[in-house]
Structure 1
Amino acid sequence: MLKRSYLFLQGVSSPFFPALADRLVAQGHAVFKVNFNGGDAAYWGRRPAASFRGDLEALEGFLSDIYRRHGITDQILFGDRRPVHRPAVNRAATCGVRTHVFEEGYFRPHWITLEREGVNGHSLLPRDPDWFRAAAEYLPPQREVQSFPGPFWLRAAHDVCYHGAGLLNPVLYPAYQTHGPVTAPVEYWGFVTHMLRVRARRQQDAALIEDLVRQRCPYYVLPLQLNSDAQIRDHSRFTDMREVMDHVLASFARHAPSASRLVVKNHPLDTGLSRHDKVLKALARQYDLLDRVDYLESGNLEYLLDHARGLVTVNSTVGGVGLGLACPTLALSDPIYNLPGLTYQGALDDFWTQAEPPEPALFAAYRDVVMYATQINGGFYSPQGIALAVQGAAQVLGAQTSPLEFLMGSARSL
């Protein structure tokens, strides 16, 4: 195996990056890290690292020096759209350094994403359905999926510890600015109140879904995403969920069948700071849709989609869930699954009456190819999930050719 030198940048708020670094060292590779805040430093511990305390304008020069002094061949990061990562991705491309990007799984649970150079809107996955059909012919036998517990409290505990260490940022990292839209305490308070609302509405939401299914009411689903998500901020034309709801309700009012309903479901990790329920009610009143729009804080999403007339999303991973359930789907942005034969390629105004289910064979090829090329069985937060993720990621990181590069070379030979 070729020995490499890995530079770690920011990861998730968990021990995942340190555990992965230890595995790479055990395999004979070198590791180094840049810490940007107190949470980075606390989780990384005594492993080799340098602290970046300057303004973002100085980051590319700082990284160039790190690349040169430590012979960096690869850099590893979580999320390619964080402010501290955009300069790093750009600089690595000019210095011959490979970039490996982790992200939450395109398919969940029990999967995380690992791609070279970019994820989501910057993924190197082709946007040609015929390529997926061809590449599927070269896939090795599918891996057996190992499940593991993923309690939310553990994820929350890591987040609190990470941001708790960040209380020293004004002294140790005075120039650091979080990639989040609000501070951690504000986010925690909003999330707690949101969870209380979810708990209070759980039975009501379940009853609403059951009524829709039992009465065979034609309905469409709009799953909300997080306002802070890079998928919204950087990979769509919308600035927040209010704009999304306004756009969809305006079209629904004008063009959807009069007997149909629109079900808007909130994101399970929403902080509750924007109060989407109140915004939706105001918009429904504006478009005279109060008796045709429903709002859910909770509920069985797969059951909901399995009986839906269609799914409208910006670029959520829920789109992949809907496609797997043969639910007609329209993406208001350009996620990796926005392919002819999978998603509706026409206008939103026409989707309400002309949508068709995805092609089953194409979705099967797409799913199998994406799983092989970009997904690692494992998780970022629980010990069991981290152990699985480290094992799979270390194999991919150490290979000269990525799974996607292998498939792209193989499919070209057809």
Structure 2
Amino acid sequence: MSRAKRNFLFLQGPSTPFFAKLADRLKTDGHRVFRINFSAGDALHWGLRSARNYRGGLADLRNVLDEKYRKFDITDQVLFGDMRPVHQPALAQGKVCEVRTHVFEEGYFRPHWVTLERDGVNSHSLLPRDPEWFRDVGTTLQAPGNVVPFQSSFQVRAMHDVLYHVAGALNPVLFSGYQTHAPITAPLEYAAYLKRFSMLKLIREREHRRAKDLVASGVPYYVLPLQLNTDVQIRVHSRFADMREVIEHVLESFARSAPGAAKIVIKNHPLDMGLMNFNKIIRDCERQLAIEGRVVYLEDGNLVALVRRSQGVVTVNSTAGMVALEEGRPTLTLSDPIYNLPGLTCQMSLDDFWRRAHNPDAELFARFRRVLMAATQVNGGFYCRSGIGLAAENSSRVLTAERSPLEVLL
């Protein structure tokens, strides 16, 4: 693969020093690096490296980017998340100017992977949606070897995020035109997290015991793993406004069509802020639908163990669906994630799923997983020193290659 010297423009990254470390690696290899900071948090994590601070609004950004591309002969732009407001003009103008766009996102498989694709991720991924293509290509690939594990603590991740948002207090002065992608303000988010995590400390042991008892009981049950209300996967890539709508939709179908002896387990997301009272929402639904005693709500618990013994998993588009497929459990999606393929997920209505669900094709999933690993996943992480070092080292090879890993497979 070619390693011609390239000119990289870095836009917004995760709220950690990852982009700065990746840029350092590219510069060490002889490439030129440019940066636009859109907020004080961006500037903080970029450090003293050279950058342009953009203080304008979104309306002018496309022209500014066009000037930057042409002035510095930009060949590639690097960004985290393809739905952020400041990234939408970059995606559009990049195509016009034939600038390659590299999009990072959380890993499709976790915890030791990050996602790196060209032009888009999740529902915008360039991955084919043909199961036969995965069958064919997957036969030529091996499972990834030499995976380097690392520990990424929540405390370190929280520290990076807090520093980012504390710096953001300067945005009205230094970056007056900045429009955040976050739907909830940082003070409210932190206050909610403190309250919920304090509560979890008190009930974690109880919730894990409840989950274990359910698994051991032999009672047939289905699993609905909740996603974050703030997640772009819900806000943009689904027809639901929030998880309340998802819960109500799924429980209405469960009450109408699920076997009478079955239960449904609704498990909260580990990073939920606790701003929505899911327990009350679920209990209200139970009463209205006359399914009292058939719904188990868990704030915590081992998701893999719950999925492994379940009758099936219903999800909107969470990576928990990948967990279900990996465990060989019937899976139905309420949106259209990359793994929603005939042979993997159940291609039927939710009402039919409760009684007609079928297991995924294990061999197809094995090939699908090998393709995803080769085409989109990079060993590393965004939130701790060792993970960041790994991701920077491994991503640099993908960023500088003439063809992306997916293009090679295609």
Does residue 324 in structure 1 map to residue 326 in structure 2?
Answer: yes
- C-alpha displacement at 1:390, in angstroms? 0.6
Paired with 1:122 and 1:236, the residues of 2 have a C-alpha distance of 13
**Conservation of the 8 A alpha-carbon contact between 1:213 and 1:307:** yes
1:71 aligns with 2:66: no
Question: 1:267 matched to which residue of 2?
Answer: 269
Query: Which of 395, 399, 404 is residue 397 of structure 2 equivalent to?
Result: 395
Equivalence for 1:109: 111
In 1, distance between residues paired with 2:115 and 2:269? Answer: 20
1:284-323 aligned within 5 A: 284-323=286-325
Q: Percent identity?
A: 56
> Residue type of the partner of 1:83?
P
State the Cα RMSD in Å: 1.0
2:189 to 187, 190, 193: 187
Task: Please give the residue correspondences for 1:97-246 in structure 2 after superposition, counting only pairs within 5 Å.
Answer: 97-139=99-141, 142-246=144-248
**Distance in 2 separating the partners of 1:83 and 1:354:** 42
C-alpha contact (below 8 Å) 1:344/1:356 kept by paired residues? yes
One-letter amino acid of the counterpart of residue 363, structure 1: F
* Amino acid aligned to 2:217: Q
Q: CA deviation at 1:297?
A: 0.8
Task: Tell me, in whole angstroms, the C-alpha distance in 1 between the residues paired with 2:285 and 2:29.
Answer: 56
Superposition deviation, residue 347 in structure 1: 0.3
Which 5+ residue runs of structure 2 have no aligned equivalent?
none
CA contact (8 A) 1:305 1:311 kept: yes
CA distance in 1, matches of 2:257, 2:347: 17
Give the secondary-structure state (helix, strand or coil) at the position aligned to 1:138.
coil
Q: Aligned equivalents of 1:177 and 1:282: distance in 2?
A: 37
Instruction: Measure, in 2, the Cα distance between the counterparts of 1:327 and 1:47.
Output: 48
Equivalent position amino acid for 2:309 in 1: H
Q: In the TM superposition, what is the alpha-carbon distance from 1:200 to its structure 2 partner?
A: 2.2
Paired amino acid for 1:310: G
Query: Equivalent residue of 1:220, what SS?
Result: strand
> Aligned residue for 1:13?
15
CA–CA separation in structure 2 for the residues paired with 1:361 and 1:140: 13
Secondary structure of the residue aligned to 2:139 is: helix
The answer as to whether partners of 1:205 and 1:296 remain within 8 angstroms in 2 is yes
Give SS of 2:223's match. strand
Equivalent pairs counted in the alignment come to: 408
Per-residue CA deviation, residues 193-251 of structure 1 (Å, 9 max, x unaligned), is 11122222212212222222222111000011111111111111111001100110000
In 2, are the aligned partners of 1:305 and 1:325 still within 8 Å (CA)?
yes
Aligned-partner Cα distance in 1 for 2:104–2:369: 19
Asked whether the equivalents of residues 142 and 370 of structure 2 are also in contact (C-alpha less than 8 Å), the reply is no
Which residue does 1:411 correspond to in 2? none
- 284-293 or 2-11, larger mean C-alpha shift: 284-293
- Segments of 5+ residues of structure 1 without an aligned counterpart are 409-414
Return the offset for 1:32: 0.6
Counterpart Cα distance in 2 of 1:275 and 1:190: 12
Distance (Å, rounded) in 2 between the aligned partners of 1:281 and 1:132: 42
The Cα of 1:140 is off from its aligned counterpart by 5.4
Q: Following the alignment from structure 1 to structure 2, what is the Cα–Cα distance between the partners of residues 330 and 140?
A: 28
- The TM-score normalised by the length of structure 2 is 0.98
CA contact (8 A) 2:76 2:102 kept: yes
Asked if 2 retains the 8 angstrom alpha-carbon contact of 1:138 and 1:407, the reply is: no
- Call closer, same or farther: CA 1:286–1:383 in 2, change over 3 Å: same
Superposed, 1:57-96 pairs within 5 Å as: 57-96=59-98
Match of 2:335 in 1: 333
Q: Which runs of 4+ in 1 moved over 2 A?
A: 137-143
